[in-house]
């Protein structure tokens, strides 16, 4: 009887040891791919945003042949990566901007200037990007931080008409030339000089009463010159429209550098009834601190 018990116990122990060893071998086999490849986790850093700009609800990333999207802070792909050097691309999709690789293009908007061309949108969503070179090591969890850079900047133009016909202006409309229609955010290259349509609104209250303002959002500036071209229409039908042409190149210098800070430019337009029907200009544009900025 004792021999049978010993034999049974020995058999059970051998079986248990076999099953345990098999389990360890299985775990080792499962972990072996991780020994020759790496895991990654990418965390988006949204601290470099302008005041009042919300964190995007969705962002995307690509690395090697993998592409994924994320609504949280950290994205962990459900796969392993061969060790080596990679380019990690991250961005947030935005209304009015099309992304192909690292090239962002502003969508076109309705309307054209004298049938000569189509305007780009002046109301894109907030767009953020990050491109960096990373190294993935085998056998470890590689953690990367994508510091997302704001790539859309807000511009407000504020015109103060003075003179006898100032109160009879009923509309100011036109376009701004020399804005960026595209941005390669891997090389920070602003290209495709384009035009954006402008519809000014008259301020009727506060310290800015009587001034005309417009706010747009831009990928940046492109080309050598930024020019405002607009037409002033009057309530007095005896007055012909005034054409406004003004060079903003110097005033917008450096516009592409810190897009988290809105730029507000103000200028005085000196006009009189005798000038109506002729071309007017604004010689000096000044940066306005704390000026009226209305997100569109």
Q: Tell me, what's the pLDDT at 262?
A: 98
163: tokens are: 């003179």
Residue 28, pLDDT > 50, answer no
155: tokens are: 């511009």
H/E stretch holding 147: strand 141-147
Q: Where are the alpha helices (DSSP H) in the chain?
A: 2-35
In degrees and rounded to multiples of 5, residue 256 shows phi and psi of -80, -5
Q: Is residue 183 part of a domain?
A: yes
Residue 239's pLDDT band, with cuts at 50, 70 and 90, is confident
Residue 11's pLDDT band, with cuts at 50, 70 and 90, is low
The total number of structural domains in the chain stands at 2
Residue 12, pLDDT > 70, answer no
Q: What is the CATH number of the domain that holds 45?
A: 2.60.40.1120
Q: Which domain holds residue 173?
A: 153-287
In degrees and rounded to multiples of 5, residue 98 shows phi and psi of -105, 135
Q: Tell me, what's the pLDDT at 178?
A: 97
Residue at token pair 């450096």 = 254
Helix, strand, coil in percent for the chain, rounding step 5: 15, 45, 40
Same domain, 157 and 65: no
Q: Is residue 292 part of a domain?
A: no
Q: Per-residue pLDDT averaged across 40-66, rounded?
A: 97
Q: Is residue 20 part of a domain?
A: no
Same domain, 265 and 178: yes
Q: Is residue 18 part of a domain?
A: no
Same domain, 194 and 140: no
Query: Which residues make beta-bridge pairs with 91?
Result: 60, 129
Same domain, 170 and 282: yes
Q: Is residue 21 part of a domain?
A: no
Q: What is the CATH number of the domain that holds 168?
A: 2.60.40
Same domain, 227 and 144: no
Residue 214's pLDDT band, with cuts at 50, 70 and 90, is very high
Q: Is residue 120 part of a domain?
A: no
Same domain, 83 and 132: yes
3-state secondary structure 58-91: CEEEEECCEEEEECCCEECCCCCECCEEEEEEEE
Q: What is the percentage of the chain residues whose pLDDT exceeds 90? A: 72
pLDDT single digits (tens) 113-138 = 554 457 999 999 999 999 999 999 99
H/E stretch holding 190: strand 189-199
The Cα 237–Cα 105 span in angstroms is 41
Residue at token pair 């767009």 = 127
Q: Please give the model's pTM, rounded to 2 decimal places.
A: 0.84
Q: Please, which residues have CB within 8 angstroms of residue 145's CB and are 6 or more apart in sequence?
A: 42, 43, 44, 45
Same domain, 78 and 58: yes
Q: Tell me, what's the pLDDT at 110?
A: 65
Residue 238's pLDDT band, with cuts at 50, 70 and 90, is confident
pLDDT single digits (tens) 67-97 = 999 999 999 999 999 999 999 999 999 999 9
Q: Is residue 24 part of a domain?
A: no
Residue at token pair 């072996």 = 32
Q: Is residue 146 part of a domain?
A: yes
Q: Tell me, what's the pLDDT at 27?
A: 46
74: tokens are: 């950290």
Q: Tell me, what's the pLDDT at 296?
A: 39
């Amino acid at each position: 009887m004792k021999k049978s018990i010993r034999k049974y116990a020995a058999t059970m122990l051998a079986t248990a040891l076999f099953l345990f060893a098999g389990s360890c071998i299985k775990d080792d086999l499962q972990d072996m791919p991780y020994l020759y490849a790496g895991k990654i986790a990418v965390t988006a850093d949204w601290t470099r945003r302008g005041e009042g700009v919300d964190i995007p609800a969705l962002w995307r990333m690509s690395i090697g042949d993998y592409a994924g999207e994320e609504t949280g802070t950290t994205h962990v792909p459900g796969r392993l990566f061969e060790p080596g050097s990679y380019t990690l691309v991250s961005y947030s999709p935005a209304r009015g901007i099309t992304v192909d690789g690292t090239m962002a293009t502003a969508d076109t908007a309705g309307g054209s200037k004298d049938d000569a061309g189509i305007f780009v949108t002046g109301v894109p969503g907030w767009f953020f990007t990050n491109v960096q070179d990373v190294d993935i090591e085998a056998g470890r969890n590689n953690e990367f931080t994508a510091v997302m850079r704001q790539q859309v900047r807000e511009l407000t133009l504020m015109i103060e008409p003075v003179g006898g016909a100032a109160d009879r202006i009923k509309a100011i409309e036109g376009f701004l030339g020399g804005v960026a229609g595209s941005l390669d955010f891997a090389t920070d290259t602003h290209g495709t000089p384009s035009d954006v349509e402008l519809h000014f609104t008259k301020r009727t209250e506060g310290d800015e009463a009587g001034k005309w303002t417009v706010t747009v959002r831009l990928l940046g500036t492109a080309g050598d010159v930024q020019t405002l071209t607009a037409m002033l229409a009057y309530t007095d039908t005896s007055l012909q429209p005034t054409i406004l042409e003004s060079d903003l190149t110097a005033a917008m210098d450096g516009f592409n550098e810190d897009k988290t800070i809105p730029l507000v430019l103000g200028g005085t337009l000196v006009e009189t009834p005798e000038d109506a029907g002729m071309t007017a200009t604004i010689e000096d544009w000044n940066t306005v601190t704390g000026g009226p900025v209305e997100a569109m």
